Chain A
């Protein structure tokens, strides 16, 4: 008898916990959405390594926004040579987002960040 009471009490406690957890999750989601609506976002860059070389992921509010496995703007699927290069370009993307400009990278940006650009990266191939 007492074990049944224990079971019922346990279930009730768990249900309450489940609802509370779901409620907190919902609140968090709504907070993230309201922050997004206000233009306030948490942006981070994460270096990634793939078969192509180094790249980066940009996470906004913990969600993957950009996954850049190869050097942006130029021809070819060539990863960055080093982790530092990938992070440098990723940081440029983050600073663009934080300054309310677009997370795009120009060939000029790549040159300024010391990313080696070959002539074949932009010339039209025949």
Chain B
């Protein structure tokens, strides 16, 4: 009996001490600025930038079960058609697999979105600088690609796209001469495109889009003047009456949010020094514990691109931005970001003129640790 007590007690002490020792990163409410973990399993394909990604089986907040990343350009100007699947794992954060190559030509600056278990990729720029409008569907269940209806708007690259419920939405972009502000809806069940309510902000390319609560957010990018733009909008597809979808700006589908530079007379935006940028990435995490004034909740994180490594948290409930721990690798332009099971990742991109394959995961509730 006594021996039993001893072993029981020893086990308890043992577990407690192991737990205490392994909790190097303790949680202190309101004080974390977050930690970028730099040793996530790297992108499986050749290092590259200007790739595209989509996340299948998304909830209404853009978080899904697997991400697919492909196309883009390497350091030798080779443009790719290959695709790779990333799935969350516990030991290396991500496990990769190489899936079927996309049909069509190798390209950069394409767009991708997913509806259910199917991903859609199209538009972009090929190695002969042709601006593209072809579109392909990837079926994750069968690992097959098929051509679908081409984009009916002007061919373009550096547009934004997102999937919400049963539809995909694509808009903005650039074709080498003109910047665009039109928005289109793709209906997978009919394999058909329809022009949707025009984006009410400045026409732009290389903007950033993310999805929360079945609404699309489009922010920053390069405007017609060639400089970065500071206007920010929220798109609510379900607020468009069925008989008005074709009327530009007819419905309350585009809501103007706070500008991302210090333009108001209030003080909330006094610190908005370098949120605006191009070629950046963003991802949403819904269960963040820390944040502005210690309030948690749903946040989008914007990082990298032309403004460098600075990372901004967008608090969706309050429409306010605050700084977080800067991206801990050299800044990457035209990278790919995605959310899997509420975990945010950034992969690929151009560091200076070199494409990279490194992948980082952001832990918003951890304390900055420069060792990992």
Contact = CB atoms under 8 A, between A and B. Distances in A.
Interface of A: 3, 6-7, 10-11, 14-15, 17-19, 21-23, 26, 30, 33, 36-37, 60, 63-70, 72-77, 101-105, 107, 122, 124-126
A65 B44 CA distance: 9
Looking at chain A's contact residues, is the secondary structure mostly helix, strand, loop, or mixed?
mixed
Looking at chain B's contact residues, is the secondary structure mostly helix, strand, loop, or mixed?
mixed
B178 to A, nearest CB: 30
Contacts of B98: 66, 68, 72-73, 104-105
Contact of B41 (A26, A60, A74, A102): A60
30 contacts: A3-B2, A6-B6, A10-B10, A14-B10, A14-B13, A21-B18, A22-B17, A22-B18, A22-B22, A60-B41, A63-B91, A64-B89, A64-B92, A64-B95, A66-B44, A67-B95, A67-B97, A68-B97, A68-B98, A70-B143, A72-B97, A73-B101, A75-B144, A77-B142, A102-B45, A102-B47, A102-B357, A104-B45, A104-B46, A126-B147
Contacts of A66: 44, 95-98
A37 B145 CA distance: 37
Interface of B: 2, 5-6, 9-10, 13-14, 17-18, 21-22, 39, 41, 44-47, 82, 84, 89, 91-92, 95-101, 103, 142-147, 357, 371-372
Nearest to A25: B22
Contacts of B99: 72
Given A14-B13, A73-B98, A76-B143, 18 more contacts: A3-B2, A7-B5, A7-B9, A21-B18, A22-B17, A22-B18, A33-B39, A63-B92, A64-B91, A64-B95, A65-B44, A67-B95, A75-B145, A77-B142, A77-B143, A102-B357, A122-B101, A125-B145
A7 B9 CA distance: 9
| Those 3 A-B pairs whose CB atoms lie nearest each other, nearest first | A72-B98, A22-B21, A63-B92
A57 B130 CA distance: 38
A101 B42 CA distance: 12
A24 B39 CA distance: 20
Nearest to B7: A10
A69 B99 CA distance: 10
